[in-house]
Structure 1
Amino acid sequence: MTDRLGRTAPPTERSTPTARWRALLVLFALPGVALASWVSRTPAIRDALEASTAQMGLVLFGLSIGSMSGILSSTPLVRRWGTRTVIAISITLMVTGLAVLGTASTLGIQAGAFTGLLLFGLGMGSSEIAINIEGADVERLAGRPLMPLLHGTFSAGTVVGSLLGLAFAHAEVAVLWHLLGVAAAGAGTVALAIPAIPGGFGRERSSRRGGIGPAARRQLQLWAQPRIALLGCVVLGMALAEGAANDWLPLLMVDGHGVDPATGSLLFALFAASMTTGRFTGSWLVTRFGRAQVVRASAVCAGIGLVLVIVAEHHALAVAGVVLWGLGAALGFPLAISAAGDGDGDTTARVSAVATAGYIAFLVGPPLLGFLGERFGLQHAMLAVLALVACAAVTAPAVRAPGDSRR
């Protein structure tokens, strides 16, 4: 089966639409479990590494380098090998990085932790682009909003991972055994799920596919289109709101609000649960109110939550801020991906371009917040996130679906 762009997706016995959908639910959830597993243990990892806030920022920079490499290489790799191969290799790298991070943390080796996050980021960045390309195609074929639900499984995965982290931290289980267990479970899960992904989907037979350089130039040309640029603004702000919480919320609550590490992990679980709730209700909200109104309301909600977490002196208000932050950050990213998939033409390139902006913010922004946090404090560093969330609220009309007059 070949589409108008020369991409092939030969059917396989296990690649039925239902099996593909179920596999995508698993493949979206797995990175969430893996990410939350180590994020929920960041206080313990920081202590084991004896790292300052700035040094943790440098360790997290390994995640940034790996993520950017994975993000930029994913689209040309998908065009050459197809989504299934890219997803399989990428998630293998991701779980390997998790195991290296656990080992390095136990040994107190900051360079090893950097390397583990480098591998983790390389695998996560590449796999997330590929599974979003898959998800956008499934949504297009279904003719109804499915991306919020798929991203909801990622958030559900973060809930599972954060609760595991909380339980292991409370039981004083070593970070090494925690992360090695998650890595082993992840490797087994992807081995079971990957055969249901069509073997050739996304592969392009034409000579136009080129390498990373030509692919990057084509994405830059896409950014010259006003709608893609506006979608990039939406996804930058909303993905940074999510990524900042994923990397820094436990430490923000421990250092800024004086809670203990176990409570910090619990509050991260609350954030993840709030995001999951927002995403699982997203399809209904979009059908009822339209994409643009939902994204604008989401940005306002996230902004209010951030303000409460930054300025509140009472724990109850800060906890309310965590909930609002999670609810508000839930839908901006998946709805921008849905908007990128609208219309004819090379949807793979459009989805990849917008997803790239999101993952730049999601994975690269938080380490930069670490440097701001060292200089001004983590609470004040979150003002940068608040500013980009405000930009997302202003540019929300860009996500409106064709033919939808609701603003």
Structure 2
Amino acid sequence: MDLTLTASQLLRWRLAIFAIFLSSGLSVATWAARVPEIKDAVSVDRAELGLMLLAGGIASIVGLSLSSVVLARFGARRGMMGAIAVFASGLAVIGIGADTLHSAPVVVVGLMLWGFGNGAVDVMMNVEGAAIENTTGKTLLPLFHAFFSFGTVLGAGIGILAIAWGMPPITHLAATAVLIVAIGVVSVLNVPRREAAMDPEAGEERGTWRERLALAMSAWREPRTYALGVVMLGMAFAEGGANDWLALGVVEGHGESAALGAAGLAVFSVSMTLVRMFGGPLVDRFGRVAVLRVLSVLAAAGLLLFIYAPNVPLVFAGAALWGAGVSLGFPLGMSAAADDPARAAARVSAAATIGYVAFLAGPPLLGLISEHIGLLNTLLILVVLIVASGLASPAARPLKGSGVGAGGVRAH
């Protein structure tokens, strides 16, 4: 089934995937904004809370790993809607567990539902975003990932208002869950059916379950998958490390105030989001590999400046370079994994699993190491991983027949 879309259909498809990225980010910030109240409601300490959050992280990795199996069984449209419903229901369960039952195990169940659904939809929405890239011939995944960031900002803002108005977590989380499901229904209705996404029109031959499952798992036997995994691992490790340790590095490493620590993290986040918003045309002009190499140099230089800067302005400059440098590693890795539409789901799932394991497991590991060698010295590990990511960047070179990421396009 070959796609021939009108301009209106293509626009609706793009807007639908933008909305799904945004709703995923919205879900993250919604429960994160209420974590202090949830912690108090279920009477756990910080260590126990950390284990609860770890359960959600592990469920995310399981969702990522099984997303290609979900696609093989249900197709992208039903798979995305199901995953959205699962992570939205997870939000509601978190609220019930905290507010109504005051039960840490119920909150953990909610976190696991949220994590599994969000992990699964992450792969599927990236596969759809890459398909839009191939249809338009333009690099768009960085912009899609910027909409995820917009969703987190929106969720944080709504969270601030909900807390200021005295809205209990169950009301806030349940209302957001309903909103996310509504966004999902409208969005999925505007996603075209595609053979490559295993959801052709009713009555068309889809192949046997065994054939579709074999295709879904095939990426783990390809060396390019692991090379792209290195690209994404280094950048995801550095991004996750910043989220967890940058502010503390400003405070404990450089002896500055907590307010300046928060400001440093804001500089990193704004820099990363801006490059994601406007990075697509750079990739179309210069190519994935060249952009990834330059950004790995920027990220490594920014980290070294952050670690060794003698004053606050240079610390902030380092944070800005760090954020800009890591901004496109993950989306461009996803884009490269999806170069061949027929194998996009399997390859994106495999490469994303490698990257997300680093994103989720890396920062706690840095914390353990920092107890022995100091936080700023520990961040040097990120420099090494970023260099490895840059060296592996040739793996992101577009496959033969792909119309995205090779460079040479002068206008976006």
Instruction: Tell me the TM-score range normalised by the shorter chain.
Output: 0.7 to 0.9
Higher alpha-carbon Rg: 2
Distance in 2 (CA, whole Å) between partners of 1:31 and 1:360 is 18
| TM-score (norm: length of structure 2) | 0.79
Shift of 1:369: 4.6
Distance in 1 (CA, whole Å) between partners of 2:233 and 2:148 is 18
Does 343-352 or 79-88 show the bigger shift? 343-352
Aligned to 2:353: 356
Q: 1:287 to 1:255 in 2, by over 3 A?
A: same
Distance in 2 (CA, whole Å) between partners of 1:254 and 1:181 is 36
Aligned to 1:118: 112
Aligned to 1:134: 128
Distance in 2 (CA, whole Å) between partners of 1:317 and 1:51 is 39
1:238–1:392 Cα contact (<8 Å) kept: yes
1:158–1:272 Cα contact (<8 Å) kept: no
1:203 to 173, 183, 198: 198
> What is the identity, as a one-letter code, of the residue corresponding to 1:280?
M
Distance in 1 (CA, whole Å) between partners of 2:297 and 2:218 is 33
Distance in 2 (CA, whole Å) between partners of 1:308 and 1:119 is 40
Shift of 1:29: 1.5
- Equivalences for residues 340-355 of structure 1 within 5 A: 340-343=337-340, 346-355=343-352
Could you list the per-position Cα deviations for residues 185-215 of structure 1 after superposition, in whole angstroms to 9, with x for gaps in the alignment? Answer: 3222222222112346512722264687x56
Q: 1:129 to 1:343 in 2, by over 3 A?
A: closer
Q: 1:14 to 1:397 in 2, by over 3 A?
A: closer
Distance in 1 (CA, whole Å) between partners of 2:115 and 2:157 is 22
Aligned to 1:182: 176
2:131–2:341 Cα contact (<8 Å) kept: no
Aligned to 2:403: none
Shift of 1:130: 0.8
2:283–2:407 Cα contact (<8 Å) kept: no
- Alignment partner of 1:338 is 2:335: yes
Distance in 1 (CA, whole Å) between partners of 2:185 and 2:341 is 33
2:150 to 147, 150, 156: 156
- Equivalences for residues 4-403 of structure 1 within 5 A: 16-39=9-32, 54-104=47-97, 109-165=103-159, 176-199=170-193, 201=195, 202-203=197-198, 205-207=206-208, 209=210, 214=214, 217-222=217-222, 225=223, 227-246=224-243, 259-260=257-258, 268-307=265-304, 315-343=312-340, 346-369=343-366, 372=369, 382-401=379-398
1:15–1:195 Cα contact (<8 Å) kept: no
Distance in 2 (CA, whole Å) between partners of 1:183 and 1:250 is 30
Shift of 1:285: 1.3
Could you list the per-position Cα deviations for residues 385-404 of structure 1 after superposition, in whole angstroms to 9, with x for gaps in the alignment? Answer: 44322211221222233585
Corresponding residue pairs, total: 394
> What is the identity, as a one-letter code, of the residue corresponding to 2:353?
T
| TM-score (norm: length of structure 1) | 0.80
Q: 1:186 to 1:397 in 2, by over 3 A?
A: same
Question: RMSD over aligned Cα, in angstroms?
Answer: 3.8
> What is the identity, as a one-letter code, of the residue corresponding to 2:198?
R
- Gap runs ≥5 in structure 1: 4-8
Distance in 2 (CA, whole Å) between partners of 1:41 and 1:297 is 38
Shift of 1:370: 5.5
Distance in 2 (CA, whole Å) between partners of 1:49 and 1:43 is 10
2:217–2:346 Cα contact (<8 Å) kept: no
Could you list the per-position Cα deviations for residues 22-52 of structure 1 after superposition, in whole angstroms to 9, with x for gaps in the alignment? Answer: 1011111111222233445556656666666
Q: 1:272 to 1:39 in 2, by over 3 A?
A: farther
Distance in 2 (CA, whole Å) between partners of 1:401 and 1:231 is 12
Identity %: 37
Shift of 1:301: 2.6
